[in-house]
Amino acid sequence: MAISVEEALEKIYALSKALGSEIEPIENAVHRVLAQKVTAAYPLPSFDNSAMDGYAVRVEDAGKTLPQSCTVFAGDQEEIRMVEDQCIRIMTGAKIPQGCEAVVPIEEVVVSGDSITLPSSIRPSQHIRLKGEDIETGMTLLEEGTQFHAHHIALLASQGITHVRLYRRPRVALFSSGNELKMHYERLGANQLYNTNTPTFSTRSRELGCDVIFTGTAEDTLDSIQDHIRSALNADFIITSGGVSVGDADFTKEAFSSLGFECAFESVDIKPGKPTTFGRIGETVVLNLPGNPLAAALCFELFGQSAILALSGRKDKYLSTITARMAEPFKMKKGRKSLIPGWFDGSTFTPSPKFGPGMVLPLSRANSYMMVDACVEGFEKGAEIKIIPTRWCFTTESKGSLTTF
In whole angstroms, give the CA distance from residue 139 to residue 131. Answer: 14
For 335-364, what is the mean pLDDT? 95
The 10s digit of each residue's pLDDT in 224-273 is 999 999 999 999 999 998 866 655 446 888 899 999 999 999 999 999 99
The CATH number of the domain covering residues in 5-20+168-311 = 3.40.980.10
At residue 248, the pLDDT reads: 41
Mean pLDDT of the chain: 94
Q: Does residue 272 have a cis peptide bond before it, meaning omega lies within 30 degrees of 0? A: yes
Q: What angle do CA 308, 250, 248 make, to 5 degrees?
A: 165
Percentage, residues of the chain above pLDDT 90: 86
The 10s digit of each residue's pLDDT in 208-221 is 999 999 988 888 88
Domain regions of the chain by residue span? 5-20+168-311, 22-44+136-167, 49-129, 319-404
- Evaluate if pTM is beyond 0.85: yes
Q: Which helix (H) or strand (E) holds 202?
A: helix 197-207
Closest Cα to residue 91, out of 53, 126, 46, 125?
53
At residue 185, the pLDDT reads: 82
At residue 245, the pLDDT reads: 61
16 pLDDT more than 60: yes
The 10s digit of each residue's pLDDT in 105-163 is 999 999 998 899 999 999 999 999 999 999 999 999 999 999 999 999 999 999 999 99
Question: What is the band of 50 on the pLDDT scale with cuts at 50, 70, 90?
Answer: very high
The CATH number of the domain covering residues in 22-44+136-167 = 3.90.105.10
Closest Cα to residue 142, out of 12, 314, 296?
314
At residue 246, the pLDDT reads: 56
Query: What is the strand order of the sheet 110-112 is part of?
Result: 102-105, 54-57, 87-90, 65-72, 115-117, 110-112
For 338-365, what is the mean pLDDT? 95
The 10s digit of each residue's pLDDT in 386-405 is 999 999 999 999 999 999 99
Residue 228 burial by CB count (10 A; 0-12/13-18/19+): exposed, middle or buried?
buried
Fold classified for 49-129: Molybdopterin biosynthesis moeA protein; domain 3 (2.170.190)
In whole angstroms, give the CA distance from residue 204 to residue 152. Answer: 24
The backbone torsions φ and ψ at residue 13, rounded to the nearest 5 degrees and listed phi first, read -65, -35
For 348-369, what is the mean pLDDT? 94
For residues 223 and 246, the model is more confident at 223
- What is the homologous superfamily of the domain 319-404 according to CATH? MoeA, C-terminal, domain IV (2.40.340.10)
At residue 7, the pLDDT reads: 97
In whole angstroms, give the CA distance from residue 105 to residue 340. Answer: 58
